[in-house]
Every structure is written in structure tokens, then in C-alpha cells.
Amino acid sequence: MVTMCATVYTMHNTRTRRSYIRANAHEMGSFIAKRYDVVNTAGTMWAHNGADEHTELGELPISLWSEIRNAEKTADFYVVKSYITPIAWFTEGAWVIPDVRYSSTTSRHQNIVRKALA
């Protein structure tokens, strides 16, 4: 049995104010699977419901830009980001995990998502 020891963390920026659950790497997957607003303790992996005014696309390939922009308009949009790059999103009842290779840290984040949704 895994004991969750996450804390609530409030993030402030110029565009939005969100409350996130702050979790360690081992806890992130379970919160993502439940589509909670969550950030890892290092602050490098984020996940939240709904689109920001303008979701940054980071290193997401240009070929996927229109897909995520359309997904942002759906009522059930949920996005997982590594740094500022969207690496997975939930829209219209289904997960999208692009088959894109990134840095070793972002690859680790992608694996957390894949394992959580397996």
C-alpha cells in the first residue's frame, strides 16, 4: 500500500491562479490518472484541467499544434507538461500521448504518464 504524502501548493503567475497538489515522482502518475491538478516537487512536470489563456507549446512538434489547440476548446481538456512542453492531453474522453522523443528528463515524465495510464 502506498501512502500519499502530497501537499497543496498554490501557483501564482500573471495569467492564472491555480491550486496544485505537489507530489513526488512516485505519486504523480496516480494523480494524473485521476486528472487532478498536480506538480512534481522539482517543478518540472505539471498537469491541470482546462486550457490556460494560451498554452505554451514548448518543444511540441509544429505538426501537433492544431491538434492541441482544438483539444483546448473541449470541456474535458486536461494537459500534462514537462517544463512548458505538452507531452500528453485528455480530450473528448481519450488520452493523446504523442510519439515524440525529448530529453532524458522529459522522457522520464512521458514514462510516468504511460505507466499511469497502462
Name the residue ranges covered by the structural domains of the chain.
7-117
pLDDT at residue number 19: 80
pTM of the model: 0.85
Q: Has residue 25 got a pLDDT over 90?
A: no
CA distance 114 to 101: 14
CA distance 27 to 60: 25
Instruction: State the pLDDT confidence band at 53, using cuts at 50, 70 and 90.
Output: low
Query: Contacts for 5-9 with beta carbons within 8 Å, 24 or more apart?
Result: 6/31, 6/38, 9/39
Fill in the amino acid letter for 78: Y
Instruction: State the pLDDT confidence band at 12, using cuts at 50, 70 and 90.
Output: very low
Total residue count of the chain as it appears in this document: 118
Mean pLDDT for all residues in the chain = 86
SS3 (DSSP) at 9: strand
pLDDT at residue number 32: 96
Instruction: State the pLDDT confidence band at 16, using cuts at 50, 70 and 90.
Output: low
pLDDT at residue number 41: 87
